């Protein structure tokens, strides 16, 4: 099969055509991602491939970091969550906002009435719930609904709520059981809410893909890489965007494995917005049953990837105590912005010559990334800013930006407004490691920063400008070093823990980094080493990764085609489905088993005998896996493998009791 792979990242859109049998790359191309009109960037990437090669493709596979970046940057649509079976007090007791990522102002709770096994369920009065807080519902663009015991009763309450909300408001409703299958109702709720928030992000992407393919006369079926590295149909991705939150990173792991074939490795993908790392053992990447990203704790299974906000487009600023820092927000590099809007250079020159020194990064710009058709949902000051930005980018120092009452952070979070600022990409332009855009704009940006924090004399010193670029490199390399150290430590010592280093490990990491080139002997010192290879992919990887690898004393490999590895991974992926059905013994108060309950994603069945229940679970798992594989776009003959597991616990400290059986069907 000849497949076109397209990866749309935060900065670049990549396209490749490969033979999926031989994995030979037939053609490849890159273009800037145009966030305000994604189709333009996609078409530009496709146009970099010879038309006769493009025409050979009989399938299109997509990957994207748009959902990943939206999670990391806190962006997405305005969604609200209803949880049935908990209370506001319980949410705060479990610290749901910090642990699961659910903003308290975006959730409303109501009680569950019924039995845990699903034999009795009373549907809440939805009209009364609406009347108790109408603004909560009316201000939402979409909804998520999660109900306690939904996995045991066929999600009766979730279906009922979805019907009410669709009829009452005509808006999208995400039922938690369609995107999450673990019992924890708060975790399912968080997954449903995030899914609802991400729908407009993925819809914009897939609409742009449809437009681009139509404009180039391609009508092949389209699939999207899920967070576990397998494929799903584009149609399904529109309703389950949460399953794509690690689409780009998962594709990068597949692509890196295809390109390097290294059985023991740490795959490092440095993009425009994030840096992603994944540990590979014996040729298989580590996996997780619940992806945690950008403050969200989900029930989405996927490749275990550690993501931090570090890329070519990460904002660089000085703090008020004159320390240079890499932020966590993505901005458009000045060199790229000036290539699109040459007037930016004139504004930077004016700022440098005329603006007084301040500590608020007012040399940065705003521009309109998404032009809202309906301004009525915005406050008047925000509307005025949008109207101004329709004319072009705006220097933050400009008097026109001094509009009181702006909700600038919210406009940025919703993807309406974007900043331009100084970034590692600008530093690369200053050092000549990457200079395809406007080098003068990067130079002017460096002068503006130095003027504000080190004085005008420093800003006109070429040595100080070079030193600024070196500092940015050092910060980026150290952040990668720390991230890799955390990922390796988690993999080796605390698999269930966080990759974030505690204060003591952070100090040890700083000491090792500072002495990485020091050959002198010390009474006591710390050195790190490992046997795994660093496999680097992504455009800026060759600039920043070798320093981090050297400090960890591991080999660094940048394979051929590394700059388009994500698109290669998308094209090399396939549909694979694993569905798990649980068999729960339902016990009376005495502990005696009353019956066995088979719980699938869409139905529950009671059985008197365990053998009957297990056989029914096998059949249900097969049926669900085959049905899901077809929904994801699988064609042709499919194989199925059944796996079974029994979970026990000790009752009264002495007696082994079965908690549940799980039956999994793997189809692919």
Residue with tokens 């009109």: 37
401 falls in which pLDDT band (50, 70, 90)?
low
| pLDDT for 472 beyond 60 | yes
182-192: average pLDDT: 95
267-290: average pLDDT: 91
Beta 142-147 vs 79-84: how paired, if at all? parallel
pLDDT for 236-256, tens place per residue?
Answer: 999 999 999 999 989 999 999
Asked if 660 and 584 count as a contact pair (C-beta separation under 8 A), the reply is yes
507-531: average pLDDT: 83
How many domains would you assign to the chain? Answer: 3
Asked if 248 and 65 count as a contact pair (C-beta separation under 8 A), the reply is yes
Q: Closest by alpha carbon to 157, among 200, 193, 112, 197? A: 112
One DSSP character per residue, 536-594 reads EESTTHHHHHHHHHHHHT--EE--TTGGGHHHHHHHH----EEEEEEEEEEE-TTS-EE
3-state secondary structure of 247: helix
400 falls in which pLDDT band (50, 70, 90)?
low
Q: Residue 203: which residues within 8 A CB-CB, separation 6 or more?
A: 238
CATH number at residue 145: 3.40.50
Tell me what pLDDT residue 399 has: 60
Q: Residue 466: which residues within 8 A CB-CB, separation 6 or more?
A: 430, 431
Query: Is 498 or 549 the better-scoring residue by pLDDT?
Result: 549
pLDDT for 577-587, tens place per residue?
Answer: 999 999 999 98
Q: Is 19 inside any structural domain?
A: no
Lowest mean pLDDT among 18-27, 71-80, 364-373, 452-461: 452-461
Burial class (CB in 10 A: 0-12, 13-18, 19+), 462: exposed
Q: Is 16 inside any structural domain?
A: no
Q: Is 543 inside any structural domain?
A: no
CB neighbours of residue 641 within 10 Å: 11
Q: What is the CA radius of gyration of the chain?
A: 26
Report the distance separating Cα 63 and Cα 8, nearest Å: 7
pLDDT for 91-109, tens place per residue?
Answer: 999 999 999 999 999 999 9
Q: Is 149 inside any structural domain?
A: yes
Asked if 87 and 57 count as a contact pair (C-beta separation under 8 A), the reply is no
Q: Which of 146, 181, 197 is the last residue of a domain?
A: 197
3-state secondary structure of 524: coil
Asked if 240 and 195 count as a contact pair (C-beta separation under 8 A), the reply is yes
pLDDT for 624-643, tens place per residue?
Answer: 999 999 999 999 999 999 99
305-334: average pLDDT: 90
Residue with tokens 């993925």: 202
Tell me what pLDDT residue 405 has: 65
Please give the structure tokens belonging to residue 552: 């960890």
Eight-state DSSP code of residue 45: H
Please give the structure tokens belonging to residue 401: 């930006």
Q: Is 258 inside any structural domain?
A: no
Q: At what angle do helices 424-431 and 439-454 cross, to 10 degrees?
A: 110
How many residues in total does the chain contain?
668
From first CA to last CA, the distance across the chain in angstroms is: 17
Report the distance separating Cα 623 and Cα 665, nearest Å: 9
Q: Which of 162, 197, 232 is the last residue of a domain?
A: 197
Q: Residue 231: which residues within 8 A CB-CB, separation 6 or more?
A: 61, 223, 224, 225, 573, 574, 575, 632, 633
Eight-state DSSP code of residue 243: G
Report the distance separating Cα 67 and Cα 241, nearest Å: 8
Range of the domain at 372: 331-471
Q: Is 631 inside any structural domain?
A: yes
% of the chain beyond a pLDDT of 90: 69
Q: Closest by alpha carbon to 108, among 36, 166, 189? A: 189
Q: Closest by alpha carbon to 438, among 292, 336, 347? A: 336
Tell me the helices (H) and strands (E) count for the chain, helix number first: 23, 33
Q: Is 370 inside any structural domain?
A: yes
Please give the structure tokens belonging to residue 186: 């708060």
Q: Is 408 inside any structural domain?
A: yes
| pLDDT for 147 beyond 70 | yes
Tell me what pLDDT residue 294 has: 86
Tell me what pLDDT residue 519 has: 74
Q: Sheet harboring 417-421: ordered strands across?
A: 332-333, 417-421, 365-368, 394-395
Average pLDDT, whole number, for the chain? 91
Q: Which of 159, 181, 197 is the last residue of a domain?
A: 197
**Cα–Cα distance list, 140 to 78, 137, 254 (Å):** 5, 6, 37
Same domain for 467 and 583, yes or no, is: no
> How many CA atoms within 13 Å lie on the side-chain side of 195?
31
| pLDDT for 496 beyond 80 | no
Tell me what pLDDT residue 404 has: 60
| pLDDT for 346 beyond 80 | yes
Burial class (CB in 10 A: 0-12, 13-18, 19+), 139: exposed
Interior angle at CA 67, CA 63 and CA 68, nearest 5: 90
Maximum distance among all Cα pairs of the chain, rounded to whole angstroms: 85
Q: Residue 544: which residues within 8 A CB-CB, separation 6 or more?
A: 270, 424, 473, 476, 477, 480
Tell me what pLDDT residue 645 has: 95
Report the distance separating Cα 8 and Cα 30, nearest Å: 10
Report the distance separating Cα 279 and Cα 301, nearest Å: 16
3-state secondary structure of 414: coil
Report the distance separating Cα 96 and Cα 186, nearest Å: 8
Residue with tokens 């928030």: 197
Global pTM reads 0.81
């Amino acid at each position: 099969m000849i497949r076109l792979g397209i990866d749309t990242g935060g900065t670049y859109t990549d396209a490749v055509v490969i033979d999926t049998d031989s994995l030979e790359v037939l053609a490849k191309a890159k273009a800037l991602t145009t966030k305000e009109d994604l189709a333009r960037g996609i078409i530009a990437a496709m146009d970099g491939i010879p038309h006769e090669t493009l025409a050979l493709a009989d399938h299109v596979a997509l990957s994207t970091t748009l959902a990943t970046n939206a999670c990391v940057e806190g962006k997405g649509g305005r969604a609200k969550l209803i949880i049935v079976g908990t209370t506001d007090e319980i949410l705060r007791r479990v610290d749901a906002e910090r642990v699961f990522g659910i903003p308290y102002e975006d959730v409303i709770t109501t009680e569950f009435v019924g039995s845990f096994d699903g034999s009795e369920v009373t549907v809440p009065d939805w009209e009364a719930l609406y009347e108790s807080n109408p603004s909560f519902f009316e201000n939402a663009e979409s909804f998520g609904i999660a109900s306690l015991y939904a996995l045991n009763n066929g999600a009766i309450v979730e279906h009922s709520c979805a019907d009410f909300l669709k009829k009452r408001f005509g808006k999208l409703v995400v039922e938690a059981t369609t995107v999450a299958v673990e019992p924890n109702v708060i975790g399912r709720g968080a997954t449903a809410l995030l899914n609802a928030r991400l729908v407009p992000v993925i819809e914009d992407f897939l609409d742009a893909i449809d437009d681009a393919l139509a404009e180039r006369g391609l009508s092949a079926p389209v699939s999207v890489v899920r967070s576990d590295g397998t494929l799903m149909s584009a149609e399904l991705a529109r309703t389950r965007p949460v399953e794509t939150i690690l689409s780009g990173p998962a594709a990068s792991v597949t692509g890196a494995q295809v390109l390097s074939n290294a059985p023991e490795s740490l795959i490092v993908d440095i993009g425009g917005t994030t840096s992603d790392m994944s540990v590979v053992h014996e040729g298989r990447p580590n996996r997780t049953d619940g992806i945690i990203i950008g403050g969200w704790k989900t029930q989405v299974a996927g490749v275990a990837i550690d993501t931090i906000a570090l890329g070519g487009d990460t904002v660089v600023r000085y703090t008020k105590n004159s320390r240079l820092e890499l932020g966590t927000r993505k901005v458009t590099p000045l060199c790229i912005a000036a290539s699109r809007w040459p007037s930016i250079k004139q504004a930077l020159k004016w700022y440098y010559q005329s603006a007084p020194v301040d500590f608020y990064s007012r040399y940065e710009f705003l521009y309109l990334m998404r032009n809202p058709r309906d301004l009525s949902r915005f406050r008047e000051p925000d509307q005025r800013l949008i109207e101004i930005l329709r004319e072009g980018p705006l220097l933050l120092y400009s008097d026109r930006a001094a509009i009181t009452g702006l909700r600038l952070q919210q406009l940025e979070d919703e993807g309406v407004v974007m900043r331009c600022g100084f970034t590692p990409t600008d530093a690369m332009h200053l050092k000549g490691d990457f200079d395809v855009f406007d080098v003068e704009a990067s130079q002017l940006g460096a002068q503006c920063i130095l003027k504000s924090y080190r004085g005008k004399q420093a800003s006109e010193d070429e040595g100080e400008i070079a030193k600024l670029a070196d500092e940015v490199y050092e910060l980026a390399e150290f952040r990668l070093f720390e991230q890799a150290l955390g990922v390796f430590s988690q993999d080796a010592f605390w698999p269930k823990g966080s990759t974030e280093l505690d204060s003591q490990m952070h100090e040890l990491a700083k000491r090792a980094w500072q002495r990485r080139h020091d050959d002198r002997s010390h009474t006591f010192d710390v050195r790190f080493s490992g046997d795994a290879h660093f496999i680097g992919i992504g455009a800026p990887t060759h600039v920043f990764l070798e320093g981090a690898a050297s400090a960890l004393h591991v080999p660094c490999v940048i394979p051929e085609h590394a700059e388009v590895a994500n698109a290669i991974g998308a094209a090399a992926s396939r549909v694979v489905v694993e569905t798990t059905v649980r068999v729960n013994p339902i016990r009376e108060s005495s502990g005696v088993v009353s019956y066995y309950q088979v719980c699938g994603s869409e139905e529950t069945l009671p059985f008197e005998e365990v053998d009957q229940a297990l056989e029914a679970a096998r059949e249900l798992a097969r049926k669900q896996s085959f049905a899901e594989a077809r929904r994801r776009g699988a064609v042709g003959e499919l194989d199925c493998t059944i796996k079974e597991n029994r979970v026990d616990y000790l009752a009264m400290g002495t007696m082994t009791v079965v908690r549940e059986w799980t039956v999994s069907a793997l189809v692919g």
